[in-house]
Structure 1
Amino acid sequence: MLTVVLCLMAWPAMAVAETRTKSVREWTATCDDYSCSAQTAGTGGAGFALEVARAAGGNEVWFVTLITPEADAPAQDPVTFEIEGTLSRDSVVEGAGEGRFGIADQAAIESIFPAMRKGAVLTVRYASGGAPVMAQFSLSGLAAVLLWMDEHQGQVGNSDRVRALDVRDDIRLSAEDMAEIRNQVVNANSLALCDWAREGDDTARFEATKYDLGEGYGLVIVVCAYGAYQESTLLFLDGTEGLEPLPFPVYDHLNGWTASLLLGTVSFDGKTRELHESARFRGAGDCGTWSRYRWNEGYFKMLEYAYLACKDSDEPVGENADMPEFPIIYKAKD
């Protein structure tokens, strides 16, 4: 038997909580203090499942996940979701371990989920190892158990919000997307700061990552050079006017606070909207800076900034020497 389960993918381990269950036709729902899920059996073979779930809270969303046996995992091609007379939609899926593949296309899940609530049978088709795979799931009772879970979580009237599962925070960029970003970076007149740009028009060396900031904004991080012990990066805000270079505050004990377009190693968390930057002033790593920022309705707000000046010493810093802590010289009040 093939099973369809509605639950949250990769749910973190939590304390045991009292659970409640309700079955309606082909579906059985389970809720506790942390989340609600529902499941049903289907046809197509053992080890398959389709999951959707929502965490507890006042502003949470449903997730949809396909679970497969290892031998029947989807290939890179999109998976097709069909409901006769209502839906035929392809979507890429994102692997999340243990045979779980989340619907990773937001536009697709916004079509698939409402159709599941109203349809009779959901058919899933995809290729695995060059062979076609098909599974069918009865949707009878799904709408009823979803309503029961809405009532349990206090989400009646707010039960249609869904989100694509994407393990990656960044936006997937095609070769054409990457070329367009490179052209805009060139037009922004800051490309000369990148060391590789001085070596000719070598597009293969261009490396950029893009994140969705919401509200019509995007963050583009361009890697400029890999040094002996760190990389350097340029950051751009992608808005209605195209790419605009983003200056960030920098500090040193000689010049005080200034601004710079060229940063050290940068990482960005698309879920928390926090950006972390660090730079080492020499290979020993015993002096430099690190800083944290959070995207805040149109700009990056500085949360913390740490700085430690280099000190001349006749004794080299050994491989096993204790690295000094970088004192925090700025910390936001809220």
Structure 2
Amino acid sequence: MLIFSIFYYKKNILFLFFILVSQGLFGCENKFLTQLNNYANVSSLNSVDIIKNITEDNDLNLCNTDNFLLSEDNANVYELSKTEYVVEVFCFVGAYQGSYQFLFYDANQVEHQISGLSFTVFEETGNGLQIIETSLLTGSVEFDPEMMLLMVDRKARGLGDCGSYGVYRWENNSFVLAEYRYKGECDGVYIPVEDYPLIYP
């Protein structure tokens, strides 16, 4: 009985100590628990609201033009979390493939932050392949939000027997080049883009 009583009082003293410490650290309203509760109540944004907010941002210069009209028909919104999204914007179509721009939509702050994303690509020049940064991706794109991977298959000509294949991994709110393959010889021989000669890494 004595052992039980000691255990009972120790448990109550520890509980009381925890309450006093938490009140001292976080204030009388227990801000920490309030913040957790508020975060739990955050609901995901819908694509309509996200697209509307993007169209109201005049500094983005979408698709490198001032008069680009963004809508649900030419954009895909991928949810990374309740407050973070990747937005894929279809800019225009060329002879056999399209061009795309990607945005990062961050709703963690009161004023939502929207930023354009850039990509490392290899461009063919007279001196061979040169690394450049670009905001527009040309080719067929596919983003897997579960794997956090973006695949880009770019044809050098309509036949599809040459071109490039890039894989980008989502890290620290940006796309990082993970793999780049390139077949420069347009020889009429078709092979899967995943089997193109590896250029990077």
Deviation at 1:238, TM superposition (A): 1.5
AA aligned opposite 1:245? G
AA aligned opposite 2:181? A
Q: Pick the aligned partner of 1:189 from 46, 55, 61.
A: 61
Provide the rounded CA distance (Å) in 2 between the counterparts of 1:236 and 1:206: 16
Superposed counterparts of 1:1-334, under 5 Å: 172-174=46-48, 176-184=49-57, 186-192=58-64, 197=68, 207-214=74-81, 216-239=83-106, 240=109, 242-254=113-125, 256-264=130-138, 265-311=140-186, 317=188, 321-323=189-191, 325-331=195-201
Q: For the structure 1 residues 203 and 279, does the alpha-carbon distance in structure 2 shift closer, same or farther, using more than 3 Å as the test?
A: same
Structure with more of its chain in helix, by fraction = 2
3-state SS, counterpart of residue 238 of structure 1? strand
Moved more, 207-216 or 268-277: 207-216
3-state SS, counterpart of residue 80 of structure 2? strand
Deviation at 1:205, TM superposition (A): 8.2
Deviation at 1:277, TM superposition (A): 1.4
Deviation at 1:172, TM superposition (A): 4.6
Provide the rounded CA distance (Å) in 1 between the counterparts of 2:70 and 2:177: 33
AA aligned opposite 1:330? Y
Provide the rounded CA distance (Å) in 2 between the counterparts of 1:227 and 1:204: 20
Q: For the structure 1 residues 256 and 236, does the alpha-carbon distance in structure 2 shift closer, same or farther, using more than 3 Å as the test?
A: same
Provide the rounded CA distance (Å) in 1 between the counterparts of 2:95 and 2:191: 18
Whether the 8 Å contact between 1:213 and 1:295 is mirrored in structure 2 is no
Structure 1-normalised TM-score? 0.39
Q: Which runs of 5+ in 1 are unaligned?
A: 1-109, 112-170
AA aligned opposite 1:209? N
Q: Which runs of 5+ in 2 are unaligned?
A: 1-39
Provide the rounded CA distance (Å) in 2 between the counterparts of 1:207 and 1:322: 30
Provide the rounded CA distance (Å) in 1 between the counterparts of 2:79 and 2:159: 35
3-state SS, counterpart of residue 187 of structure 1? coil
Provide the rounded CA distance (Å) in 1 between the counterparts of 2:71 and 2:115: 23
AA aligned opposite 1:275? L
Provide the rounded CA distance (Å) in 2 between the counterparts of 1:289 and 1:232: 14
Q: For the structure 1 residues 259 and 326, does the alpha-carbon distance in structure 2 shift closer, same or farther, using more than 3 Å as the test?
A: same
AA aligned opposite 1:230? Q
Q: For the structure 1 residues 329 and 216, does the alpha-carbon distance in structure 2 shift closer, same or farther, using more than 3 Å as the test?
A: same
3-state SS, counterpart of residue 52 of structure 2? helix
AA aligned opposite 2:177? M
Q: For the structure 1 residues 233 and 252, does the alpha-carbon distance in structure 2 shift closer, same or farther, using more than 3 Å as the test?
A: same
Q: For the structure 1 residues 236 and 323, does the alpha-carbon distance in structure 2 shift closer, same or farther, using more than 3 Å as the test?
A: same
Whether the 8 Å contact between 2:155 and 2:162 is mirrored in structure 1 is yes
Deviation at 1:203, TM superposition (A): 5.4
Aligned length in residues:
150
Provide the rounded CA distance (Å) in 2 between the counterparts of 1:305 and 1:284: 20
